[in-house]
Amino acid sequence: MQSTRPLVVTGAVAVLSVGLLVAAVGQAWLGPDVGRGSNFCEAARSGAVLQPANSWSNLGFVLAGLAIAAHAGSTAAAGSVMPRRLQTALACIVVLLGPGSAAMHATQSELGGHLDLLSMYLVAGFAAAYAWVRVARRGPAAFGVAYATCVLGCELAGLWSRPVPVVHVAGNLAFGVLLVAAVVLETVLWRRGETRRTISFGVAALASMLVAFVIWNASQHGWCDPHSLLQGHAAWHVLCAVAAYFLHRLYASERPTSPA
């Protein structure tokens, strides 16, 4: 059965979160510019939005979240192993990646940097927790505990102040570890064969993330024009949004292999 609820809920989250971000940037609620995110190539401009390319590219996450919600409400997603309410939750989380990341790039503030990392933790924690509860054959309560544990673990990792090779900070490393764990667990589920899914969606999500990471890394080591609006980090945002959409399509395509 088709439902408009996922799109209505996600749309409300998008309007509210983007509206709060606009107000926060305009009123300087996020604090002063401390250079947070300045290592991602783009030079700070003199306007209200310090890094325009790296900020506006985050609209990709908002659009991806709305696309996820639209598909979650369709009849095609109605028979999925993933409940529609959980698909809606994922859509909202993907939307929040947009203003969360833009908060840092628009202001280069300390609080903006924390919001950026938190939005990343919410998505990676969801992917890892949802994969684990299906592998372990656990229910919604276990998912909630696992999800909270993943996000809290990332926050604790983020307290480590020493530099980390390649990914810079421990919070980024924790984000990556959760994504790798999700890929491994999803592979276990696929090989177990208890459900069927369109595996090409998973391949597309993984490929998008890998290409995004290559660009993310290259844009900080040589491939960088600070004053251009064509930024590698902006491409990272767009490709990660594409990966999030395909991840949802993988989830939505999952069906039991038998009525039991």
| Tens-binned pLDDT, residue by residue, of the chain (260 aa) | 789 999 999 999 999 999 999 999 999 999 999 999 998 999 999 889 999 999 999 999 999 999 999 999 998 888 899 999 999 999 999 999 999 999 999 999 999 999 999 999 999 999 999 999 999 999 999 999 999 999 999 999 999 888 888 888 999 999 999 999 999 999 999 999 999 999 999 999 999 999 999 999 998 877 899 999 999 999 999 999 999 999 999 999 999 986 54
Nearest to 57 by CA among 181, 243, 237, 257: 237
Q: In one letter, which amino acid is 63?
A: L
- pLDDT, residue 223, reads 86
Tell me whether residue 237 is annotated as binding: yes
Would you say residue 154 lies in a domain?
Answer: yes
Q: Per-residue DSSP letters for 123-187?
A: HHHHHHHHHHHHHTT--HHHHHHHHHHHHHHHHHHTT--S-BTTTBSHHHHHHHHHHHHHHHHHH
Would you say residue 198 lies in a domain?
Answer: yes
Would you say residue 2 lies in a domain?
Answer: no
Q: Are 235 and 208 in contact (CB under 8 A)?
A: no
Q: Which domain, by its residues, includes 196?
A: 8-256
Structure tokens at 135: 């592998």
If one counts the domains in the chain, the total is 1
Would you say residue 27 lies in a domain?
Answer: yes
Would you say residue 3 lies in a domain?
Answer: no
Would you say residue 48 lies in a domain?
Answer: yes
CATH number of the domain within which 107 lies: 1.20.1070
Tell me whether residue 71 is annotated as binding: no
Would you say residue 1 lies in a domain?
Answer: no
Would you say residue 53 lies in a domain?
Answer: yes
Tell me whether residue 227 is annotated as binding: no
